[in-house]
Structure 1
Amino acid sequence: MPRSSFSDNPILRVSRPVSACSRCRSAKVKCDGKLPACTACEKAGRESECSAANSQFARGKERSYVAALELRIEKLEKRLQYARSRKASVAQHDPDAPPAVDPGRKDSLAFIRAAIHRKAARTRENADVNSLVSDFGYLSVNATTQDFEPSELNMTFARLVLAASTNDPVPEPKGTGLPAEHATRALIQFYEANILPLYPAFSIVSLYSVVDRLYQEIPGPLRNSEYWLFWMVLAISSAAQSRSMRDKSYLDALEFVGRALPHADRALTPGYAAQLQSLILLTQYSMLDPTHFSSWHLIGFTCRAVVDLGFHQDLPYMQPSDLEARRRTFYCVYALDRAISMVHARAFSFYDDAVSVALPSPTKPCGPLSTSDPTVKVPLDASVPLFRLRQLQSGWYQTLFQSDPTDPLPDANSYIWQVCSEMRKWSEGLPDNVPIRIREMLDLELRYSYVYCIAPSARAPHVTPYGRVLIFEHVIACVNRIYDIANGAVNTAFYTYHDALRVFFMGSQFVAALRDGGDSLLSGSPIPMPLAMPGTASPPPLPQRLDRDVGDNLDRSIRCLARVRLTLKLYGDRWENASSLMDTFEAMSADLLESLKSRQAMRDAAATTQAGGFVA
């Protein structure tokens, strides 16, 4: 089947940043985009002067973003149609048009002329498409627009989101009925136990209500957002339990996503809290299926919707229960944005300075409504500890990696030890009732954070010898545990493709530490902890070695490098992109691994010779 023209199905890319108001733009100050007036204008007492830089979106002249898109597309479609008709006319009458050539005749001049005309046609088409796509940059994505109705012809917010974030199209669903009820409830209980305690973006009561209505003898009426909630939860739970791209769980996940997508236009309708919940679910799924969706683009749209709806600011006049739900929704988006941005080494969607939202209170979740079995354990809320960790990560990531690289920190080591101390105190203060599987996941996040903030950055380019020892020990401890998790029969907590990126990152830092201070690290000689300056925090202590972590540092290093590769290989069965990470890591570490093995062989040979001498 011939491929459709790229101009008929362009890939849409929309910039993420929030447009500054005209006053902030002229004053060259940061604008948080808060509605109806930004924080800077409020503090200056000029709320009435706060307006968008583009006059067509100024106060009093607001219009639908989608309507503006449609107008722009209509205009450019006319230009494309005119260009195509002009091209057809020229092809019929232009004496320089490429002549028909006998395919059996090897006329090099004719072939060259035909190739030149094909290239010129592609160039013109690409120019038209680039003009179309570039025009989207002049339009501000308004996630609160409500004055449009989805149809087969117009561009909706959902279609824009899907066009920008879809990598490969999702296959068409094969079925039309509901899955077996016992299978549905098993998937929901998996989500309830492993994912909802970390990201409580919706009430489990509402989800079970949807299930009950769907499985009635005569199904009750449901909104599109409720269908979306149902199918996406099933998709996320199935994908989270998948072990390869070919197993039943992954194929079921694709089926469930295919069943959800027809409801996207209504579920992602801008201006409602349900839109944020729907975007959160789609972002969670994208973290488990990078083949079909880009988590980076999706979290960008989600954050823009959060800012447009004003969820980044507390509203004191709200009812306490509504305010708590609003806070939980915001921090679910905040936590996902920080995690996704850090793992991709990119900027956050919004700065902490623009946020004024208190952490929510720990929730008291209900047990499954569909069972009276007393052995079913009620999942405990672990979201607030996760949100607090994301706040700590956000602070040092912005300081070390997202601030002006030409402005080095005056005392980088003291700053790094301070943030490590804060994260250690956070870990020591975790509630006792956090489930073991989630506590283990948070411990891995802590070790990853240690390695990340101690590693060289633009504002702290130098790592101390003690810092290299910390990286060495935390990487080994983390890789050993994630290797066991990757080999496990089932997933626990919420492990995604981003964990493959984390393994690759830590393996890379391990290689760099060995190359910079290999002799010192491999010798195993103790490196004293640096003395802290008065009034500053002490460096974190070295982690305790587990009993099964046997051997000297040379053996441990070789085993760690092998386990990084094997873990990426296992993840490659689930996510194709992880295979390329494994290939890159192998190439990066090949010379180091060869050197370590040579050193190991020399050590063993010397030990054998020495043992033989004692025997003689």
Structure 2
Amino acid sequence: MTSSSGNKDFRDQLGKFRLESPNVSSPVAWSQSPTTTFPKPSPRSYQPSSPSSSLQQPPPDSAPTPDPTSSTPSARSKRVSTACDFCRKRKKKCDFRYPNCSACTRAGVRCTIPPPGPQVASASVPRDQLETLQKRVRWLEEVVRRKMGVSVADLATGTPVDGEGDPDWWYQVPAMIATGGSRSSVGSMLSPVGSGSSAATPGLAAISESPTGVGVELPNVGEILRDQLENRRPSVARPAVAPRVLRLSSLEEAERVAGQYFDSIGYQYPFLSRPEFFGHLRHIYTGGVPTPEVHNTYHIIIAISLLIGSAEPAQAAEFYRASQETLSLALQNEDLPSIRALLGLALYTMFATAGPSIWHVLGATLRLAISMGLHKARSYPTMMEEEMAKRAFWSLYNLDRLIASTLGRPLGVPDDDISVGLPRELNDDGLEAPGASAMTIPLQVIRLRRIFSRIYQYLYSNLPQPSPQEVAATLGQFRREVDEWRMAAPVYPSALLYSTSYYDYLYYTTLLLMYRPSPRNPTPDATSIVSCGDSSIQVVRSYWDSYSVGKLKWIWLTLSQVYFAGITILWCLEQNARCLRDSRPAPWHPDEQMMRRGIQAVVVLLEQFGKRRPGVDRLAETFRHQSTTIFSQMAYRQQQLEHQQQHQHQHQHHVQPLMPPQPSVTLAPPPPPPVPLAPVLDDVLLVDGSGVMPIIDPQMAEQLYYSYNWFQEEMASYYTL
């Protein structure tokens, strides 16, 4: 029985190489027959229903013969002889035994067969050479499975790997769910391109392990049928092209410029491997021809670094245009190189005024990452592949949260749908160093972004407005989490700028997002007003420190944060004025000099932005006018308060002399005192001396203090975000 089974397997293997039409004994070939009109049964449970179409098992010493009573085309397929050379010469029937047939064994000769395919040589080959070829085919199939995630071991030769050869291949899914089919027989063929079978069908494990064939939960059919539903292209090798390569003056100059990227933006978004990038960089500058994905990454990173270093914009634009020449090839497959290419494009558009919309680029990147399953916990062939996939996803997550909150738009992927773990704290040499590695800083940023996301989803949504007590309790819990994050932030000695000042900046921007007026908390309480004002001053101070040392990034993101912090300070001062008008104590008592210098810094930064970005000069002028109005009101109120206190003091200590009664005379009220000039803020804020009480336009006040959307929409429209 074992010999018969072995002979049949051997003949089937020969049929895969030598038969032009599928063998009738193959279940896959049966299901692919063009004349089959009835529903396809499961290959595991297939049984012929009529004696006329049944296929009998051939005897051990005879070759398989088709049933003469069968009327199907596959049953009448042409038989191809595989007799050995010895039997063919003697014109005897060969029993196909392996590795020697019976006739060759009795004659004591080596059993050989003609080479498959066209007769390219007259010499015969040993029969056991097929075994060597089969082993090599299995090795190549395993290489394809590891590199591309495509299991081709059960597919016939010539079958397209994307499933288009059999458009009804997914008919096996119901039988697999009902019977608990093994993943090796069915699941491997259904695994999507670009992902292993273990990650593609997570629900199958429970079904396979269940003794009754019924799992705890059904498999994700959407992921099983993903390639068919999305009409995805199979992953193919990118062509080796040699487009133009731009180079800086020397390799040392290129390494210095690239180092600026990895020492700044690379800390925040570590989706590239620094050693790998510099290896490709040296290869390019020694005359090597880069692959399309390397070509694209090299040019876009150099372009970003030139923009960060405030170099000539024309040079950065030239490197950007060079990167676009291989962008389509870099995006050819749905894999990590495509994710990296899109992330590089998003970072460039964040720093440049040209290029596509960063909002649209991030949306496409998120959909690609989710389609690849990067947001889910899954297994990878190697640890480094897993780590680079995690770094790419969390870099994308960080960017999505930042851009969505700045533009007042929804988050790209909910936190509840994310199950992938955080990256490990690995150095460039692959050694883990918790608290002191190149991944320490981005990990700390990601932890804050996750708190940031929950704050944003709670406050900036269309859910019903909660009670003030619920808001106060929830904000208190968020504040404790943010404070714990700041206290636990590790100090990384080799990058103090990113472990102290950068942490403080992120801390205060998060508090600013949490306490400023929002859709679900439109009228913050006194605690929120104080926190808003103090956080805004610290945010402005952080940007001013960068500006003082010449390291401020003149990008729309910086403009947005500076403006938000500035108008929040004005909003807090307006809240103080309202409380005074209502005879209530002012909630916010900032340091007078620090507060005024904060307003002055915002005016200066907006004016500098106006010199670099057209259209910002109008915004700077509006902010300056509103600041002047508020300070004039403050000065007027302060003078009234001092006059009132002085009058009360004189009334209490002045002794009125006794005078004879005089007839009453109605006198006109004294004229109001002129409105004093607002104090000069280091020769920046000036007002006129007209003496007219300045009043803020109610519509402007509403836009300025209680709605951030108008500025977000204007900025997004202008910068095509």
- TM-score, length-normalised on structure 1? 0.62
**Of the candidates 241, 244, 248, which is equivalent to residue 179 of structure 1?**
248
Correspondence for 1:115: none
Q: CA deviation at 1:50?
A: 3.7
Give the secondary structure class of the aligned counterpart of 1:569: helix
- Contact 2:562/2:602 (8 A) holds in 1: yes
- Contact 1:454/1:467 (8 A) holds in 2: yes
**Of the candidates 602, 626, 630, which is equivalent to residue 564 of structure 1?**
602
Deviates more, 1:396-405 or 1:567-576: 567-576
Correspondence for 1:549: none
Mapped to 2, the partners of 1:202 and 1:524 lie a distance apart of 56
Mapped to 2, the partners of 1:349 and 1:365 lie a distance apart of 30
Mapped to 2, the partners of 1:207 and 1:524 lie a distance apart of 61
Could you say if the C-alpha distance between residues 266 and 500 of structure 1 is closer, same or farther in structure 2, counting changes exceeding 3 Å? same
The answer on 1:238 being equivalent to 2:306 is: yes
**Of the candidates 529, 537, 550, which is equivalent to residue 476 of structure 1?**
537
Mapped to 2, the partners of 1:401 and 1:422 lie a distance apart of 19
- Contact 2:293/2:329 (8 A) holds in 1: yes
**Of the candidates 545, 556, 566, which is equivalent to residue 507 of structure 1?**
566
Could you say if the C-alpha distance between residues 60 and 519 of structure 1 is closer, same or farther in structure 2, counting changes exceeding 3 Å? closer
Could you say if the C-alpha distance between residues 575 and 294 of structure 1 is closer, same or farther in structure 2, counting changes exceeding 3 Å? farther
**Of the candidates 219, 238, 253, which is equivalent to residue 47 of structure 1?**
219
Deviates more, 1:482-491 or 1:233-242: 482-491
Higher relative contact order (CA 8 A, sep 6+): 1
- Contact 1:451/1:474 (8 A) holds in 2: yes
Aligned length: 428
Correspondence for 1:330: 393
Q: CA deviation at 1:450?
A: 0.5
The answer on 1:582 being equivalent to 2:620 is: yes
- Contact 2:375/2:419 (8 A) holds in 1: yes
Could you say if the C-alpha distance between residues 59 and 469 of structure 1 is closer, same or farther in structure 2, counting changes exceeding 3 Å? closer
Could you say if the C-alpha distance between residues 436 and 496 of structure 1 is closer, same or farther in structure 2, counting changes exceeding 3 Å? farther
Q: CA deviation at 1:561?
A: 2.2
The answer on 1:358 being equivalent to 2:421 is: yes
- Contact 1:469/1:521 (8 A) holds in 2: no
Correspondence for 2:509: 448
- Contact 2:304/2:348 (8 A) holds in 1: yes
Spell out the pairing of 1:164-563 with structure 2 (5 A cutoff): 177-181=246-250, 182-216=252-286, 219-242=287-310, 248-316=311-379, 318-365=381-428, 381-402=440-461, 404-406=463-465, 411-433=470-492, 435-439=495-499, 440-491=501-552, 496-518=555-577, 553-563=591-601
Could you say if the C-alpha distance between residues 520 and 38 of structure 1 is closer, same or farther in structure 2, counting changes exceeding 3 Å? farther
Mapped to 2, the partners of 1:253 and 1:521 lie a distance apart of 53
Based on CA coordinates, which of the two structures has the bigger radius of gyration?
2
Mapped to 2, the partners of 1:417 and 1:569 lie a distance apart of 37
Give the secondary structure class of the aligned counterpart of 2:388: helix
- Contact 1:561/1:593 (8 A) holds in 2: no
- Contact 1:465/1:517 (8 A) holds in 2: no
Could you say if the C-alpha distance between residues 461 and 231 of structure 1 is closer, same or farther in structure 2, counting changes exceeding 3 Å? same
Could you say if the C-alpha distance between residues 48 and 293 of structure 1 is closer, same or farther in structure 2, counting changes exceeding 3 Å? closer
Could you say if the C-alpha distance between residues 350 and 587 of structure 1 is closer, same or farther in structure 2, counting changes exceeding 3 Å? farther
User: Structure 2: where are the runs of 5+ without partners?
Assistant: 1-194, 207-214, 431-435, 646-721
Could you say if the C-alpha distance between residues 267 and 470 of structure 1 is closer, same or farther in structure 2, counting changes exceeding 3 Å? same
Could you say if the C-alpha distance between residues 590 and 295 of structure 1 is closer, same or farther in structure 2, counting changes exceeding 3 Å? farther
Could you say if the C-alpha distance between residues 327 and 524 of structure 1 is closer, same or farther in structure 2, counting changes exceeding 3 Å? farther
Mapped to 1, the partners of 2:350 and 2:615 lie a distance apart of 12
Mapped to 1, the partners of 2:546 and 2:535 lie a distance apart of 17
Spell out the pairing of 1:90-101 with structure 2 (5 A cutoff): none
Could you say if the C-alpha distance between residues 184 and 49 of structure 1 is closer, same or farther in structure 2, counting changes exceeding 3 Å? closer
Mapped to 1, the partners of 2:280 and 2:380 lie a distance apart of 31
Could you say if the C-alpha distance between residues 576 and 302 of structure 1 is closer, same or farther in structure 2, counting changes exceeding 3 Å? farther
1:497 counterpart letter in structure 2: W
- Contact 1:198/1:382 (8 A) holds in 2: yes
Give percent identity, aligned residues only: 20
Deviates more, 1:390-399 or 1:251-260: 251-260
Q: CA deviation at 1:273?
A: 0.5
Spell out the pairing of 1:57-72 with structure 2 (5 A cutoff): 61-62=228-229, 64=231
2:293 counterpart letter in structure 1: S
- Contact 2:425/2:440 (8 A) holds in 1: yes
Give the secondary structure class of the aligned counterpart of 1:47: coil
Mapped to 2, the partners of 1:146 and 1:265 lie a distance apart of 14
Deviation sequence 1:314-361 (CA, Å, 0-9, x none) = 104653332222111110000010011111111011111111111111
Correspondence for 1:7: none
1:394 counterpart letter in structure 2: S
1:343 counterpart letter in structure 2: T
1:438 counterpart letter in structure 2: Y
Q: CA deviation at 1:521?
A: 9.6
- Contact 2:245/2:295 (8 A) holds in 1: no
User: Structure 1: where are the runs of 5+ without partners?
Assistant: 1-33, 53-57, 66-143, 151-172, 243-247, 368-376, 529-541, 543-551, 608-616
Correspondence for 1:592: 630
Could you say if the C-alpha distance between residues 578 and 496 of structure 1 is closer, same or farther in structure 2, counting changes exceeding 3 Å? same
Give the secondary structure class of the aligned counterpart of 1:314: coil
2:247 counterpart letter in structure 1: L
Mapped to 2, the partners of 1:60 and 1:263 lie a distance apart of 25
Mapped to 2, the partners of 1:347 and 1:598 lie a distance apart of 43
1:232 counterpart letter in structure 2: I
Give the secondary structure class of the aligned counterpart of 1:326: helix
Mapped to 2, the partners of 1:417 and 1:292 lie a distance apart of 41
- Contact 1:276/1:329 (8 A) holds in 2: yes
Mapped to 1, the partners of 2:584 and 2:487 lie a distance apart of 28
Mapped to 2, the partners of 1:148 and 1:206 lie a distance apart of 20
1:559 counterpart letter in structure 2: R
Mapped to 2, the partners of 1:526 and 1:587 lie a distance apart of 23
Deviation sequence 1:140-190 (CA, Å, 0-9, x none) = xxxx7758999xxxxxxxxxxxxxxxxxxxxxx9x9742112321111111
Could you say if the C-alpha distance between residues 294 and 176 of structure 1 is closer, same or farther in structure 2, counting changes exceeding 3 Å? same
Q: CA deviation at 1:36?
A: 5.4
